Amino acid sequence: MKEWFHSKEWVGSADVQAHASINLSKFYEQYHAQPEWWQKVFDFLKQDLNSLAMGKYLLEGDHVFAMVSEYETKSPQDAKWEAHRKYIDLQYVISGQEVIGVLPLEKTVDPQNYNEQKDLIFFGEQDGEFFTATPDCFFLFFPDDVHRPCMMIEQSESVKKLVIKIAVAE
Q: What Å distances lie between residue 162 and 35, 52, 57, 77, 110, CA to CA?
A: 20, 9, 10, 23, 28
DSSP SS3 for 42:
helix
pLDDT at 154: 94
DSSP SS3 for 158:
strand
pLDDT at 14: 83
DSSP SS3 for 11:
helix
Stretches in the chain below the pLDDT threshold 50 = none
DSSP SS3 for 54:
coil
Quick check: 23 and 147 in contact, CB under 8 A?
no
pLDDT at 2: 85
pLDDT at 131: 98
17-167: CATH, from 2.40.30.10, 2.60.40.10, 3.30.450.20, 2.60.120.370: 2.60.120.370
pLDDT at 110: 86
Sheet containing 98-104, strands listed edge to edge, beginning at the edge strand earlier in sequence: 121-123, 81-83, 145-151, 98-104, 129-133
DSSP SS3 for 12:
coil
